[in-house]
Structure 1
Amino acid sequence: MPDNPLAAVDPWDLVAEDYAGSTISVMRPFAVRALELAGLADRPVPPRVVDIAAGPGTLSLPAAEFAERVEALDFSGPMIAQLESAVRAAGLGNVAARVGDGQALPFADAEFDAGFSMFGLMFFPDRPRGFAELFRVLRPGGVAVVSSWASLERSTWMQISWRALGSADPDIRTPAPNPESLENPEVFEREMRAAGFEQVSVVPHTVEMVFADADELLARLTRGIAPLELMRRAVGERAMADRIEAMRSYLTEHYRPGSPLTTTAYLGVGHK
């Protein structure tokens, strides 16, 4: 079992359906920005694209508009099932999805023109291996874009989320800054360069969200969120219901309906 529980497949299997229906809306603006940074729409020849830790298709689906083919890979079978369902619903014939390990990609060397990992590679137990595999499968001249959340201080959305959780369970502590993770742009750039990428840049991108009231915000915080599903499994349904009510009370008191919350991510861009 990895040290970080979110590096294991089980929590993502648990939340796949709700993640596809709810959380993907938070992630989609970052995927659109990643596609812009990669310049997919500007290419004279449609590129071959790989999407690693693809989840339910947050990036794979919009990438299909510009790509000759998108190969999507995730270690969660239920996430891939959600992606395949979305592909069928959209009538896309150029997206293929499979279950696999982003640290040991089942693709040949130099197979793709562009590669992405949206909020996935950041959790890999062996990040250097993940970056190296992404570099390996790109053709010379290819581009990669990888995203990771910025530190908590740059996200009012995550701040209120953790405070609401803490109101429900005093043993929960707001995560401390981790300067060795990809929330540190210097580490992000260093790890991409160590894998062989050149012309590396780490670009911040901020998304704003507005909720009608505390209940709408609570629904977003409690649907498709892997850490909460792990908590539910640990404490049981009755205790979890009590915690959700405590979160509702906190948000009713501390969230002003219609006020904006922001979250920031870093997008690392590298070229081969």
Structure 2
Amino acid sequence: MTNPLAAPDPWDVVAEGYDDLTAEMMLPFAQIALDSAEPKSDARVLDVAAGPGTLTLPAAARVARVDAVDFSPSMIERLRGHVRDAGLGNVEAQVGDGQRLPFPDNEFDTAFSMFGLMFFPDRAAGFSELFRVLKPGGGAVVSSWAPISESEFMTLMFGAFRAANPDIPQPQANLLSLENPEVFVSELRAAGFHEVTVQPHTVSKAYDSAEALWDRYSRGSAQVHLMRRNCDADTWKRREQLMIDYLNANYRPGQALSTTAWLGSGRK
């Protein structure tokens, strides 16, 4: 069964809200990835599944050039807007498929894919393409969410989802995905990478209220968009209120919620 999050449409719809969400939740992981890769000031960097530029923009402040690719036209449009607003002249952004990158072999010093390659229908192709376009000696950093059980934030959100719709199954760790660090290591090595490591990193975010938490998450979540799309307006209104009620009952304003991700790295 194809993962609906592996198509651009839901990401196009939530691009504006996702932009807000990534600034809060995902930027710390992008900064960790950049710090771990340590690209040189004259480096050419690739950002695959770049979204609205969560890694691209801070990378552009450190290196000579960043090429950004995403399959969502709306995400690339927002990224280009940020590039214009920041007056950056060293970023090239284009719509493209991370499983078939539009670049020649041995082109980049460092490559990243933050929470994107994990959704690819063909992850092996995604890893192989990162390897192909890197120069010999170049490094790659790829991130993936850890199992939901290791994330206070997503555990709380799935509790809200199930309060509104008990038919939603309890989340289970997918041992065949990049949630499993052994699979993560294996797929990096299978693509040809060496010096492979996969390490957990945790960040936390607090919200002023349950309503603020829901607003920030729901506006930027492709998953919530798909839930909304799959029911009529009245059903969604009722379910959304049930989710907010659940959050009000289970979230203390100002409480920091942790989220854990795996950062996998390797060298060509």
TM range (shorter): over 0.9
Matching of residue 185 in structure 1 with residue 181 in structure 2: yes
- Equivalent residue letter for 1:152: I
Cα separation, 2, equivalents of 1:237 and 1:92: 42
| Partner of residue 45, structure 2 | 49
The normalised TM-score by structure 1 is: 0.96
Matching of residue 172 in structure 1 with residue 171 in structure 2: no
CA RMSD for the aligned pairs? 1.0
**Mapping 1:57-76, distance limit 5 Å:** 57-76=53-72
Cα separation, 2, equivalents of 1:236 and 1:95: 41
Cα separation, 2, equivalents of 1:101 and 1:170: 36
Give yes or no for contact 2:20–2:216 (8 Å, CA) kept in 1. Answer: no
Cα separation, 1, equivalents of 2:23 and 2:69: 16
Matching of residue 145 in structure 1 with residue 141 in structure 2: yes
Aligned pairs, how many? 268
Cα separation, 1, equivalents of 2:131 and 2:101: 11
Shift of 1:239: 2.0
Shift of 1:48: 0.1
- Give the match's secondary structure for 1:140: strand
Stretch of structure 1 that moved more, 217-226 or 112-121: 217-226
- Equivalent residue letter for 2:38: G
Cα separation, 1, equivalents of 2:16 and 2:256: 27
Query: In structure 2, which of residues 81, 87, 99 is the aligned counterpart of residue 85 of structure 1?
Result: 81
Query: In structure 2, which of residues 241, 244, 252 is the aligned counterpart of residue 248 of structure 1?
Result: 244
Shift of 1:221: 2.4
Moved over 3 A (4+): none
Cα separation, 1, equivalents of 2:87 and 2:95: 21
1:144-188 deviations in Å (ceiling 9; x for gaps): 000000011110100000000111111112321111100111100
Gaps of 5+ in 1: none
Shift of 1:238: 2.6
Give yes or no for contact 1:53–1:118 (8 Å, CA) kept in 2. Answer: yes
| Partner of residue 120, structure 1 | 116
1:183-229 deviations in Å (ceiling 9; x for gaps): 11110001000000000000111001111221111112211100111
- Give the match's secondary structure for 1:108: coil
Query: In structure 1, which of residues 202, 209, 218 is the aligned counterpart of residue 205 of structure 2?
Result: 209
Shift of 1:231: 1.4
Query: In structure 2, which of residues 205, 208, 233 is the aligned counterpart of residue 237 of structure 1?
Result: 233
Matching of residue 10 in structure 1 with residue 9 in structure 2: yes
Give yes or no for contact 1:161–1:221 (8 Å, CA) kept in 2. Answer: no
Shift of 1:257: 1.5
| Partner of residue 36, structure 2 | 37
Give yes or no for contact 1:34–1:145 (8 Å, CA) kept in 2. Answer: yes
1:80-126 deviations in Å (ceiling 9; x for gaps): 00100111111110011000100000001000000000000000000
Give yes or no for contact 2:73–2:95 (8 Å, CA) kept in 1. Answer: yes
Shift of 1:266: 0.3
- Give the match's secondary structure for 1:223: helix
Cα separation, 2, equivalents of 1:16 and 1:131: 25
Stretch of structure 1 that moved more, 115-124 or 164-173: 164-173
Cα separation, 1, equivalents of 2:109 and 2:42: 9
Shift of 1:256: 1.4
- Equivalent residue letter for 1:35: L
Shift of 1:69: 0.6
Cα separation, 2, equivalents of 1:47 and 1:13: 30
% identical equivalent positions: 56
Shift of 1:22: 2.7
Cα separation, 2, equivalents of 1:104 and 1:222: 31
Cα separation, 2, equivalents of 1:48 and 1:239: 49
Give yes or no for contact 1:23–1:223 (8 Å, CA) kept in 2. Answer: no
- Equivalent residue letter for 1:80: I
Gaps of 5+ in 2: none
